[in-house]
Structure 1
Amino acid sequence: MPDATETQVLGAMSFPGTPAQVAHARTYTRTTLAKALGPENSAIDDVELLVSETVTNAILHTPSGRTDPTGRPIGEVTLALALTSRTVRVEVMDEGTAAVPELHPSPCDEHGRGLWLVASIASAWGHKRHESTAIVWFEVPFSSHPGDVSGSGD
Structure 2
Amino acid sequence: MNVTTTSRATGHPGYSETLPREPGSAATARRLVRVALAAWGLDDVAEDGAVIVSELVSNAVRHARRESIRVMVERTAVRTVRVAVADFSRARPVPRAPGNGEEGGRGLFLVAALAAAWGTDERQWGKVVWADVEGRG
TM range (shorter): 0.7 to 0.9
Q: TM-score, normalised by structure 1?
A: 0.75
> Which residue of 28, 31, 40 maps to 1:36?
40
Q: Indicate the SS of the match to 2:34.
A: helix
Q: Indicate the SS of the match to 2:93.
A: coil
Mapping for residues 114-133 of structure 1, pairs under 5 Å = 114-133=107-126
Mapped partners of 1:51, 1:35: distance in 2: 17
**Root-mean-square deviation (Å):** 1.8
Deviation at 1:130, TM superposition (A): 0.3
Q: Indicate the SS of the match to 2:96.
A: coil
Q: Please give the per-residue CA displacement for 1:49-96, whole angstroms capped at 9, x wherever unaligned.
A: 1001101111111114xxxxxxxxxx1110111112221111110111
The higher radius of gyration belongs to: 1
Mapped partners of 2:56, 2:33: distance in 1: 13
Q: Indicate the SS of the match to 1:102.
A: coil
> Which residue of 20, 23, 32 maps to 2:24?
20
Deviation at 1:110, TM superposition (A): 1.8
Aligned to 1:60: 62
Mapped partners of 1:16, 1:107: distance in 2: 30
Judging changes above 3 Å, is the alpha-carbon distance between structure 1 residues 104 and 51 closer, same or farther for their aligned structure 2 residues? same
What amino acid maps onto 1:132 in structure 2?
W
Q: Which has the higher strand share?
A: 2
In the alignment, does 2:88 pair up with 1:95? yes
Mapped partners of 1:117, 1:7: distance in 2: 30
Mapped partners of 1:82, 1:139: distance in 2: 10
Q: Indicate the SS of the match to 2:103.
A: coil
Any conservation in 1 of the 2:38–2:46 contact (CA below 8 Å)? yes
Q: Which runs of 4+ in 1 moved over 6 A?
A: none
Mapped partners of 2:71, 2:11: distance in 1: 16
What percent identity do the matched residue pairs reach? 32
Aligned to 2:14: 10
Q: TM-score, normalised by structure 2?
A: 0.84
Mapped partners of 1:42, 1:79: distance in 2: 21
Deviation at 1:7, TM superposition (A): 7.0
Aligned to 2:96: 104
Mapped partners of 2:79, 2:44: distance in 1: 13
